[in-house]
């Protein structure tokens, strides 16, 4: 027996006609809402977007995004989980799924729906029934030991973002150690170091999102390409 916990790689593109659903998870205060705001600002001119936020007792994150006008108010929906954040993104995803589907209905067609989890610990991860891809956000102020502690978010997320690199000198975090440990536990899956304070548009993360959307479109067209027509009477 061990702590290994593997899932299938879930390569399938989303069903034809619906938006790509992207989860953003990670500990409290790591910069999830700041990253969602950055992605909205950077991507909203050429993609059709909507956002679902999760808070335990409030609608704080949705209020922040609306106050900052990153999207029109009706493209931002808040789920109040009333329970451990991971329950609502992993175990009983119905409230989140309702929120995503109702945004997709109201604003069809959408390219991307971002679902921000409530802040939680290293064991939190999204159900693949709720999102197609997930980003896990850590920040350097938790210490440079965090990536090697692993957990399904750190090791299994499609993208790991190590945020607040501007604070590294202040908290004595060695980014080289974080990079080496993250590469080891993630076995080649991508890691991006970011400072939303210094680069508020999160251009590298936005680039990753665009590349995932491009892959998804390619996979969809490959799956939807009709077989070449056979002329009647051909051998
Ligand atoms: N110094 C610094 N602060 C940041 C950065 N990104 C986010 N923050 C701040 O960290 C705090 C928590 O961010 P927030 O996005 O609310 O975290 P969440 O709880 O993960 O959603 C806020 O005060 C942000 O302004 C960063 O790259 N550098
Ligand atoms: Mg938040």
In a domain, 87, yes or no: yes
Contact 154, 161 (CB under 8 A): no
pLDDT in tens, 74-115: 999 999 988 888 889 999 999 999 999 999 999 999 999 999
Residues making up the binding site for GTP? 26-33
In a domain, 230, yes or no: no
Backbone region of residue 72 per phi and psi (left: phi > 0; alpha: psi in -120 to 50; beta: other values): beta
In a domain, 11, yes or no: no
CATH (domain of 135)? 3.40.50.300
Q: Tokens standing for 10?
A: 């879930």
In a domain, 183, yes or no: yes
Q: Which protein residues have their CB within 5 A of the ion that is ligand 2? A: 32-33, 61
Question: What is the pTM (predicted TM-score) of this model?
Answer: 0.91
Cα distances (angstroms) measured from residue 140 to each of 207, 208, 222: 22, 21, 40
Q: Is residue 9 predicted with pLDDT exceeding 70?
A: no
In a domain, 1, yes or no: no
- How many structural domains are present in the chain? 1
- Nearest-atom index, ligand 1, CA of 196: 27
In a domain, 215, yes or no: yes
- Nearest-atom index, ligand 1, CA of 195: 27
Q: Is residue 225 predicted with pLDDT exceeding 90?
A: no
| Averaged pLDDT, 29-56 | 97
In a domain, 31, yes or no: yes
Q: Which domain holds residue 38?
A: 20-223
* Mean pLDDT value across the chain: 89
Which ligand is located closest to the Cα atom of residue 167? 1
Residues making up the binding site? 26-33
Residue 224 has what pLDDT? 73
pLDDT in tens, 133-191: 999 999 999 899 999 999 999 999 999 999 999 999 999 999 999 999 999 999 999 99
Q: Is residue 11 predicted with pLDDT exceeding 60?
A: no
Q: Is residue 41 predicted with pLDDT exceeding 60?
A: yes
Distance CA 202, CA 16 (A): 28
Contact 76, 51 (CB under 8 A): yes
In a domain, 182, yes or no: yes
């Amino acid at each position: 027996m061990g702590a290994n916990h593997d899932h299938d790689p879930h390569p399938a593109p989303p069903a034809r006609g619906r938006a790509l659903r992207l989860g953003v998870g990670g500990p409290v205060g790591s910069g999830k809402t700041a990253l969602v705001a950055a992605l909205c600002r950077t991507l909203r001119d050429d993609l059709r977007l909507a956002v679902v936020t999760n808070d335990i007792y409030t609608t704080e994150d949705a209020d922040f995004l609306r106050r900052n006008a990153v999207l029109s108010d009706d493209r931002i929906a808040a789920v109040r989980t009333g329970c451990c954040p991971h329950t609502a993104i992993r175990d009983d995803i119905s409230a989140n799924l309702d929120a995503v589907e109702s945004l997709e209905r109201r604003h069809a067609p959408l390219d991307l729906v971002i679902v921000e989890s409530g802040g939680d610990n290293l064991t939190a991860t999204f159900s693949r029934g709720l999102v197609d891809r997930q980003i896990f956000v850590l920040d350097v102020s938790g210490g440079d030991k965090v990536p090697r502690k692993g957990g399904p978010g750190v090791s299994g997320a499609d993208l790991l973002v190590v945020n607040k690199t501007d604070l590294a000198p202040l908290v004595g975090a060695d980014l080289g150690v974080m990079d080496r440990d993250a590469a080891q536990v993630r076995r080649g899956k991508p890691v991006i170091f970011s400072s939303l304070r210094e680069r508020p548009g999160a251009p590298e993360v936005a680039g990753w999102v665009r590349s995932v959307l491009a892959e998804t479109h390619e996979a969809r067209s490959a799956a939807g390409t009709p077989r070449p027509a056979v002329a009647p009477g051909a051998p």
